[in-house]
C-alpha cells in the first residue's frame, strides 16, 4: 500500500514537472506606416507634411513631434516605440512578429524611396533586436517580393525561408528548441486582385504541404500575416474564394494551430473560428503603431508582448502597451528640444485579467464574444471595455450604438463573408423592429436577436 502511494506521488511530481510551462515572450508589432515626410510644422490636410509656400497660410496648429491622430508615423514615434521595447529585453523575448505596412502609402510612389525607408526601419529594428530574430511579413503597402527585399532581411531568416520569401513573399521557420513552427503568409495573395495568380496558387499548395507536414511531425503552428480573414464594416481583405479556402484550411488543421496573428485594421480585436458550432481556433489582430486609420479614424500607438509556453507554443496571455499620443505630445512640447523624452509607453491591459479569461483558447474567446452582445448592463460594460481597447483608449471609441455593437459581434464570430452580412442584417432588422437603436435592453428583443444570430452562425 505504502509503495503504491509513494509511486503515485512520484508519478504526480513527475507529471507536474513535465507539464510545467517554459515561459517565453514574443512581440507582435505591426503597421508602422512610416512617413519620412511627417513634420511637426506640417498640415493635417496633407498627411502632416509641410504645405508648399503658396496656399498654406493660416492653417497651422503646431503638431506633436511624435505624431498626430490624423497622420501616419513620424520617425520619432517609431524610435520611441523601439526604445521602449528595448527596455523589456530582460523578459526572455524570443522573437518578434512584424506584420507589414512598413511605409506610409502616401510617402512616395518611387520604388527606390520606399526601399530606402524600409531599409532605415529594418536597420532600426536590427539595432534594437541585435540578438533576436524578427519575422517580417508583407502588407499591402509593402513592395512585391524581390531579391532586394530578401537581401534586406537575410540576417533574420534561414536559406530555405529566403528562397520562398523571394519567390512568393511567404516562408516557414522551425523553432530549433521546440515543437513550434511559424508560418508567415503573404496575405496580399489572398486579395481579389491577386487571388487567381500563379503565386497565389503556389502559396496555397505550399501552405497545405507545410500544415500536413507539421501534423505528421507533431508540431504546433503559428500563422502570421498582414490581413486577417473575415469581414468588418470597412473591408474584406480576402476574395470570397480565398476567404473560404483559408477558413476551410484552418478548420482542418485547427488541432495544430496554436495561434493566428494579424494586423492591418489598426485596431485591437480578435476573431473566433467555428467548425459545426464549435469554436476551434482564434486569431488576434494587434493595433498599429501608426495613430491613423485608413480612410478615417484614429487610435493610440500600440505594441503587444505575448507570453507563451515556448515548448509547445501555447499562448498564455499578452500585455498590450500603448502610448497616449496626446499626453506624450503635451509632455514633449514642454520639454523643448529633444522632446521625445516626454513619451511614456505604458501597459494598457493584460488580456486574461482584463476580460477575466480562464485561458487563451477558442472556447474562452467564444464566451467573451458572447458577452460582447448587447444585453444586460453587465454585458454592456464588457462591450465598452472591448471598445476602449479596440481604439487603444483613443476617445473615438465611445461612438458606438446598438447596430455598431452588433457589427463588432458579427465581425468577431462570422468570418464567412455571407454569414457576416446576414449577421449584420439580422441585427439591423431586429433593431428596426424594436424601434430602438441605441440601447437594447428588452430581454425579448435580445432573445430573438440571439436566436437569429445563432441560426446565422450555424
Ligand atoms: C534613411 O537614413 C539616412 C541616413 O540616416 C537618411 O539620410 C535618409 O534621409 C533616410 N531616409 C528615409 C526615407 O528615411
Ligand atoms: C500585466 O501583468 C504583468 C505581469 O505579468 C504585470 O507586471 C503588469 O502590472 C500587468 N499590467 C496590467 C496593466 O495589469
Measured CA to CA, the distance from residue 281 to residue 276 in angstroms comes to 12
DSSP 316-333: EEEEEEEE-HHHHHHHHH
Cell numbers at residue 327, please?
499626453
Q: Are 226 and 140 in contact (CB under 8 A)?
A: yes
pLDDT in tens, 281-324: 999 999 999 999 887 789 999 999 999 999 999 999 999 999 99
Backbone angles phi, psi at 108, to 5 degrees: -165, 145
So what's the pLDDT on residue 232? Answer: 86
Q: How far is the CA of 78 from the centre of ligand 2 (A)?
A: 23
Enumerate the β-bridge partners of residue 273: 281
Q: Confidence class of residue 377 from pLDDT cuts 50, 70 and 90?
A: low
Percentage of residues of the chain with pLDDT beyond 70: 84
Mutate to test the pocket of ligand 2, among 308, 350, 356, 360 (most ligand atoms within 8 A of CB): 350
DSSP 15-50: HHHHH---EEEEEEE----B-TT--TT-BGGGTTBP
Nearest to 217 by CA among 226, 206, 209: 209
Specify the ligand 1 atom closest to the Cα of 119.
Answer: 1
Q: Are 201 and 219 in contact (CB under 8 A)?
A: no
Specify the ligand 2 atom closest to the Cα of 319.
Answer: 1
- Grid cell 507533431 in the structure block, residue: 218
- Name the average pLDDT for the chain: 87
Most confident by average pLDDT, 25-29, 62-66, 194-198: 25-29
Per DSSP, which regions of 121-247 are E strands?
133-136, 171-174, 180-184, 220-224
Mutate to test the pocket of ligand 2, among 322, 324, 347 (most ligand atoms within 8 A of CB): 347
So what's the pLDDT on residue 410? Answer: 95
So what's the pLDDT on residue 369? Answer: 95
- pLDDT > 70? residue 444: no
Q: How far is the CA of 175 from the centre of ligand 1 (A)?
A: 34
Q: Confidence class of residue 195 from pLDDT cuts 50, 70 and 90?
A: confident
So what's the pLDDT on residue 431? Answer: 74
Return all residues near 389 (Cβ < 8 A) that are at least 6 apart: 268, 320, 348, 349, 354
Q: For 264, which DSSP code?
A: S
Span 371-390, mean pLDDT? 82
Enumerate the β-bridge partners of residue 308: 24, 315
**Residue 441 DSSP SS3:** coil
So what's the pLDDT on residue 9? Answer: 52
Q: Is 123 in the pocket of ligand 1 (CB under 6 A)?
A: no
> Residues with Cβ within 6 A of ligand 2?
319, 347, 349-350, 353
The pTM (predicted TM-score) of the whole model is 0.89
So what's the pLDDT on residue 336? Answer: 47
Q: Where are the alpha helices (DSSP H) in 73-197?
A: 75-86, 111-128, 147-152, 159-168
Q: How far, rounded to the nearest angstrom, does the alpha carbon of residue 163 sit from its chain's CA centroid?
A: 26
- pLDDT > 80? residue 145: yes
So what's the pLDDT on residue 91? Answer: 80
pLDDT in tens, 320-361: 999 999 998 887 665 544 445 556 999 999 999 999 999 999
So what's the pLDDT on residue 2? Answer: 53
DSSP 360-384: SSHHHHHHHHHHTSS-SHHHHHHHH
Span 63-73, mean pLDDT? 91
- What ranges do the domains of the chain cover? 19-362
Return all residues near 43 (Cβ < 8 A) that are at least 6 apart: 49, 50, 51, 56, 59, 60
- pLDDT > 60? residue 4: no
Enumerate the β-bridge partners of residue 172: 183
Q: Confidence class of residue 201 from pLDDT cuts 50, 70 and 90?
A: very high
- Better pLDDT: 134 or 57: 134
Enumerate the β-bridge partners of residue 317: 307
So what's the pLDDT on residue 457? Answer: 43
Among the residue ranges 113-117, 153-157, 176-180, 247-251, the one predicted with the least confidence is 176-180
Q: How far, rounded to the nearest angstrom, does the alpha carbon of residue 9 sit from its chain's CA centroid?
A: 44
Q: How far is the CA of 187 from the centre of ligand 1 (A)?
A: 28
Domain boundaries 19-362, corresponding CATH code = 3.60.21.10
So what's the pLDDT on residue 449? Answer: 44
Span 233-251, mean pLDDT? 93
- Contacts by 57-60 with C-beta closer than 8 Å and gap 24+? none
So what's the pLDDT on residue 92? Answer: 87
Q: How far is the CA of 8 from the centre of ligand 2 (A)?
A: 37
So what's the pLDDT on residue 297? Answer: 87
Q: How far is the CA of 4 from the centre of ligand 2 (A)?
A: 43
Span 216-240, mean pLDDT? 93
Max CA pair span of the chain: 94
Percentage of residues of the chain with pLDDT beyond 90: 66
Amino acid at each position: 500500500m505504502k509503495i503504491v502511494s509513494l509511486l503515485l506521488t512520484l508519478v504526480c511530481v513527475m507529471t507536474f514537472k513535465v507539464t510545467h510551462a517554459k515561459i517565453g515572450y514574443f512581440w507582435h508589432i505591426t503597421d508602422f506606416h512610416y512617413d519620412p515626410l511627417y513634420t511637426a510644422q506640417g498640415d493635417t490636410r496633407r498627411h502632416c507634411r509641410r504645405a508648399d509656400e503658396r496656399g498654406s497660410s493660416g492653417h497651422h496648429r503646431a503638431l506633436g513631434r511624435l505624431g498626430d491622430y490624423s497622420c501616419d508615423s513620424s520617425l520619432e514615434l517609431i524610435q520611441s516605440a523601439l526604445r521602449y521595447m528595448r527596455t523589456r529585453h530582460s523578459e526572455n523575448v524570443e522573437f518578434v512578429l512584424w506584420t507589414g505596412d512598413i511605409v506610409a502609402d502616401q510617402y512616395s510612389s518611387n520604388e527606390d524611396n520606399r526601399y530606402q525607408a524600409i531599409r532605415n526601419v529594418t536597420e532600426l529594428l536590427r539595432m534594437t533586436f541585435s540578438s533576436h530574430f524578427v519575422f517580417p511579413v508583407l502588407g499591402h503597402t509593402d513592395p512585391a517580393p524581390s531579391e532586394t527585399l530578401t537581401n534586406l532581411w537575410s540576417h533574420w531568416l534561414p536559406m530555405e525561408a529566403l528562397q520562398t520569401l523571394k519567390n512568393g513573399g511567404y516562408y516557414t521557420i522551425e523553432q530549433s528548441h521546440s515543437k513550434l513552427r511559424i508560418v508567415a503568409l503573404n496575405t496580399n495573395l489572398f486579395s481579389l486582385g491577386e487571388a487567381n495568380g500563379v503565386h497565389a496558387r503556389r502559396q496555397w499548395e505550399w501552405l497545405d504541404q507545410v500544415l500536413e507536414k507539421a501534423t505528421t511531425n507533431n508540431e504546433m503552428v503559428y500563422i502570421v500575416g498582414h490581413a486577417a480573414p473575415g469581414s468588418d464594416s470597412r473591408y474584406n481583405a480576402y476574395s470570397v474564394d480565398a476567404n473560404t479556402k483559408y477558413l476551410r484550411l484552418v478548420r482542418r488543421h485547427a488541432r495544430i494551430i496554436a495561434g493566428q496573428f494579424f494586423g492591418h485594421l489598426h485596431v485591437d480585436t480578435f476573431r473566433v473560428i467555428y467548425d459545426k458550432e464549435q469554436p476551434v481556433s482564434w486569431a488576434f489582430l494587434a493595433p498599429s503603431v501608426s495613430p491613423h486609420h485608413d480612410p478615417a479614424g484614429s487610435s493610440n500607438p500600440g505594441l503587444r508582448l505575448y507570453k507563451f509556453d515556448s515548448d509547445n507554443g501555447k499562448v498564455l496571455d499578452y500585455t498590450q502597451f500603448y502610448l497616449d499620443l496626446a499626453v506624450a505630445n503635451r509632455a514633449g512640447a514642454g520639454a523643448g528640444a529633444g522632446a521625445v523624452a516626454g513619451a511614456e509607453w505604458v501597459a494598457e491591459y493584460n488580456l486574461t485579467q482584463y476580460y477575466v479569461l480562464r485561458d487563451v483558447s477558442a472556447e474562452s474567446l467564444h464566451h467573451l464574444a458572447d458577452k460582447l452582445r448587447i444585453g444586460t448592463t453587465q454585458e454592456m460594460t464588457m462591450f465598452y471595455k472591448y471598445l476602449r481597447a479596440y481604439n487603444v483608449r483613443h476617445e473615438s471609441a465611445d461612438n458606438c450604438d446598438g447596430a455598431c455593437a452588433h457589427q463588432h459581434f458579427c465581425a468577431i464570430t462570422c468570418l464567412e463573408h455571407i454569414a457576416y452580412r446576414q449577421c449584420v442584417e439580422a441585427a439591423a432588422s431586429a433593431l428596426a423592429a424594436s424601434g430602438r437603436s441605441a440601447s437594447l435592453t428588452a430581454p425579448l428583443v435580445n432573445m430573438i436577436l440571439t436566436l437569429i444570430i445563432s441560426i446565422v452562425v450555424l
